[in-house]
Copies of this chain bind each other. A is one copy, B any other.
């Protein structure tokens, strides 16, 4: 809508990766050098960028200050709620939000549908790491060290026929999840419940949460749930963008 502001935002994105000279910024934006300089000067006056001694422009201190204000207000649950709710209304299944919280993954929100069988999950409770779709969607995108730490003392208890009961099998599944971008719980915890899940990325691109659509197999089996993946992808993309993620 507003070209100059768009360009300003682009400059911030550019110099946040690494400080740039006025010429580099000009070239990146496709504008004249003097134009880029004028914009950089304005941004610098505002403290959003700052000029380094070597003539490169980087991110300014004021931006860090504003960022901390934003960080204080961070509230994933409230941000994602409307997106999850509309997803729930559309597909009429239960929608979960789970977040990585220290050494556990816990349900942070749950959208239920009226007149449905209640699922066992409860907000605030830790998920079962080796069966829950959300756990796989989150762990698939964590550094190996984090996965190791979380699974170090984890027992791969068998709950159903499809439960993954070894770390090796689980790791293989995480590989699959990582490459295709979504995960399932194929009746691995209760043999009549299955789900699909996708990860949410934060402002740094890290995966710290996931959304799942869960249903009784009798109501919607895996094949049916997979039909919802495009819509689920939309939802997690929207939420990721809303919390500052950019592709």
Contact = CB atoms under 8 A, between A and B. Distances in A.
Interface of A: 1-6, 8-9, 12-13, 15-19, 38-39, 41-48, 50-51, 53, 58-71, 73-74, 82, 99, 101-102, 106-108, 122-125, 202-204, 241-246
A244 B59 contact: no
B66 A245 contact: no
Contact of A60 (B43, B50, B244): B244
A241 B64 CA distance: 12
A204 to B, nearest CB: 5
Contacts of A66: 12-13, 16, 59, 63, 67, 124, 203
Contacts of A12: 46, 48, 66
Nearest to A205: B65
Contacts of A69: 16-17, 59, 122, 204
Contact of A50 (B19, B59, B242): B242
Contacts of A47: 106, 124-125, 241, 244, 246
Most buried by B among A12, A38, A70, A242: A70
A1 B15 CA distance: 20
A46 B16 CA distance: 14
Most buried by B among A42, A64, A102: A64
A65 B2 contact: no
B106 A9 contact: no
A42 B2 contact: yes
Contact of A1 (B42, B53, B241): B42
A64 B67 contact: yes
B65 A59 contact: no
17 contacts: A1-B38, A1-B41, A6-B46, A47-B124, A50-B101, A51-B102, A59-B67, A59-B73, A60-B124, A61-B74, A61-B106, A62-B124, A63-B244, A65-B107, A65-B204, A67-B68, A68-B204
B244 A64 contact: yes
Contact of A46 (B9, B42, B53, B59): B9
Contact of A99 (B61, B62, B82, B102): B61
Contacts of A243: 61
